Structure 1
Amino acid sequence: MDSRQLYYFVTLAEIGNFTHAAKQLHIAQPALSIAIKKLENSLELDLFHRNDRKISLTPEGETLLPHAQRVLQQINDAKVAMAELKGLEKGEVRLGVPSMLGSYFFPEILMGFKSRYPNLKLTMVEAGTQSIRSMLINGELDLGVIINDDVPASLEAEHLLRSQMVAVVSKSHPLGTHRTIDFETFFAQELVMFKKGYFHREFIDHVCEQYQLIPHISFETNLLPMILNIVRRDFAITALLEMVTEHEAGVKAIPFAQPVFLDIAIAWRKDGYLSRADRAFKEYVKKCCP
């Protein structure tokens, strides 16, 4: 078994079709079939169920897949580390950030970091906390900003900041005169929320479960500007990090009567390799946090 065979195996497992996998690998389909057959013969196991159009992993293939993915990720980590030693890499940081933080907290940090390290490439992906965790574990991201709660065992995390979750209403909303709002009153309103998978939604679902409340969700979207516009026009209210309301006109933040604070952390794979660029960015972000 060699790394090329493992790479072919993982690609075929993910795509599920010899023709399409061969096209992505830029090799002929017969060459892919032969490579997979050689791998199966060396293991003396069938890794795929084959039919005319679609293939699927056998139980043996399911067992091999996570090991193969881990080996390929480690090989890639080693290449990055060796390239750095030779001075061949300018460096890249692949960062996953939730929508609210990506819009209001990280732009200045990213620009400041880029000014200090102009030769480094920054790639920022906005996604929900669950997606960021998965992408970190799968090696699609180097660093990710997540809620520091129930962090998977395969990830390391360091505290960045603590922020309050508040109810957000329009300036003209009847609740706008309230100094605080209880959960019962909040969840009795028409709500606009992020879809499942975002920490904003995880908070909502957790509170509903804890207090046995049923939310009246009228709108679901992962577009923060749309959420704010819906609130401004009094179609619904929402809950966001307080830092969002500090930069937005036409909305008002109302703390919950039972205050809610979120611990936000920066995370990375426990067994992964953090490049010089990743380490420099992590330390820079930590210094910028209050």
Structure 2
Amino acid sequence: MDLSSAHSYRLDWITSFVAVARHGGFSAAAKALYRSQPRVSSHVGELEHVIGARLFDRSVQPVALTPEGRALLPHAEEIIARLGVFADVAGGADGVLRGEVRIGMYPSAAAYAYPPLVRALRRRAPTVRTTLAEGPALSLESGLSDGEIDLALRPVLPLVRDDRLTYRRLWSEPLVAVVPHGHPLAGRGPVTLARLAAFPLVTMGEPAEGAPRQFETNLAFAEAGVRPEIAFETTQPQTLAALVRGGLGVGFTNALAMTTANCEGVELLPVAERHIRRHVAVWWRADRPESPLLPLVRDVIAGLPAPRLAEVADPYDPYDPYDPYGTADAVA
């Protein structure tokens, strides 16, 4: 396309088209864009008129992309992404980076890492802002894939299905068992996975469409050759502690999660199989033009002190479960 014909396509038409596709409807897109629904509908209609094809099937609810819409969407998203880079570069023309980075984190990582991240950025780049989106691991993956967030603090497991995502490892941490006071395992030191499997378990996990996704806890038991009864799954450490405290099962989760929960009435036990660990990384999409803000924020995240969790894993054992990955290279 030459420059003389580019004026036929207005940016607000393309923005409204992408918003309707991302949010699944005209009303949701209007709310996200702070525009009226008739205006968003008008933008999409004008774009369809210029292109000469319907982009959405409006006979179904929620509206669905037509084949033409599906073909056009990646290019429209690319335009929006490049405009973001344009704005960041323009804002940094005087040598000062400006902009906003959307970061997704799962709850215990957010409680641990987000406050020091904000403080560190205020010192290093006070004109760079961040917004936090908390969610479980699978939703963070979809957020990155859909462009709703720019970076994510997420475990390496379960493995992502989007090969456009890449990561830089940050830290690893042990898994711990969580038992109520007075439980037969309480006060007995490290517990084996086979012994844990004798009790109904409460684990960290989340439902997924299609084939189940493998979390560290699932793989730990599979590697040990035991099949426990999973009584409850939750994405919230506080809920896991409450279920254990209520006598509904024995908890099994990562150590950092339990530092953010109310552990009154429960006891944390180290797991004998110490090689079973959670590895945490910062993730991003590698297939898009990258704003100069993202490497900056990634470096600040990688420079944060890693959690020291020896006292959570086993207060009576000099073994230090912290195993930093430091500045490991990105892994596709």
Q: TM-score range by the shorter chain?
A: 0.7 to 0.9
CA contact (8 A) 1:18 1:33 kept: yes
| 1:71-82 equivalent positions in 2, closer than 5 A | 71-82=79-90
DSSP-derived class of the 1:196 partner: coil
Q: Which runs of 5+ in 1 are unaligned?
A: none
CA contact (8 A) 2:237 2:258 kept: no
- The answer as to 2:301 corresponding to 1:285 is yes
Structure with the higher helix share, 1 or 2: 1
- Aligned residue number for residue 330 of structure 2: none
| Alpha-carbon distance change, 280 to 41 in structure 1, aligned in 2, over 3 angstroms | closer
Deviations 1:87-143 (A, max 9, x none): 78644342222222223x315633641562455433222211221122123222222
- Aligned residue number for residue 172 of structure 1: 182
CA contact (8 A) 2:197 2:226 kept: no
Deviations 1:49-69 (A, max 9, x none): 234986432222222223322
DSSP-derived class of the 1:101 partner: helix
Q: How far is 1:224 from its partner?
A: 1.8
| Alpha-carbon distance change, 236 to 274 in structure 1, aligned in 2, over 3 angstroms | farther
Give, as a single letter, the amino acid of the residue that structure 2 aligns with 1:264. V
| 1:232-271 equivalent positions in 2, closer than 5 A | 232-245=245-258, 248=263, 250-257=266-273, 259-270=275-286, 271=288
- The answer as to 2:126 corresponding to 1:113 is no
Alpha-carbon distance in 2 for matches of 1:6, 1:238: 48
Aligned counterpart in structure 2 of residue 135 of structure 1, from 139, 143, 147: 143
- Aligned residue number for residue 197 of structure 2: 187
- Aligned residue number for residue 11 of structure 1: 19
| Alpha-carbon distance change, 86 to 96 in structure 1, aligned in 2, over 3 angstroms | same
Alpha-carbon distance in 1 for matches of 2:246, 2:62: 49
Aligned counterpart in structure 1 of residue 234 of structure 2, from 202, 212, 221: 221
DSSP-derived class of the 1:251 partner: strand
Structure with the higher strand share, 1 or 2: 1
Aligned counterpart in structure 1 of residue 104 of structure 2, from 96, 104, 107: 96
- Aligned residue number for residue 196 of structure 1: 206
- The answer as to 2:76 corresponding to 1:68 is yes
Q: How far is 1:167 from its partner?
A: 1.9
RMSD: 3.5
Q: Which moved more, 1:244-253 or 1:264-273?
A: 244-253
| 1:151-166 equivalent positions in 2, closer than 5 A | 151=160, 152-166=162-176
| Alpha-carbon distance change, 179 to 52 in structure 1, aligned in 2, over 3 angstroms | closer
- The answer as to 2:273 corresponding to 1:273 is no
CA contact (8 A) 1:165 1:241 kept: yes
Q: Which moved more, 1:56-65 or 1:12-21?
A: 12-21
Q: How far is 1:260 from its partner?
A: 0.7
Aligned counterpart in structure 2 of residue 83 of structure 1, from 78, 91, 109: 91
CA contact (8 A) 1:93 1:121 kept: yes
DSSP-derived class of the 1:273 partner: coil
CA contact (8 A) 1:167 1:256 kept: no
CA contact (8 A) 1:180 1:254 kept: yes
Q: How far is 1:266 from its partner?
A: 1.0
Give, as a single letter, the amino acid of the residue that structure 2 aligns with 1:255. V
Deviations 1:195-219 (A, max 9, x none): 4169x972234446664625231x4
What TM-score comes out, normalization by structure 2 length?
0.70
Alpha-carbon distance in 2 for matches of 1:58, 1:119: 41
DSSP-derived class of the 2:54 partner: coil
Alpha-carbon distance in 2 for matches of 1:75, 1:84: 14
| Alpha-carbon distance change, 241 to 269 in structure 1, aligned in 2, over 3 angstroms | same
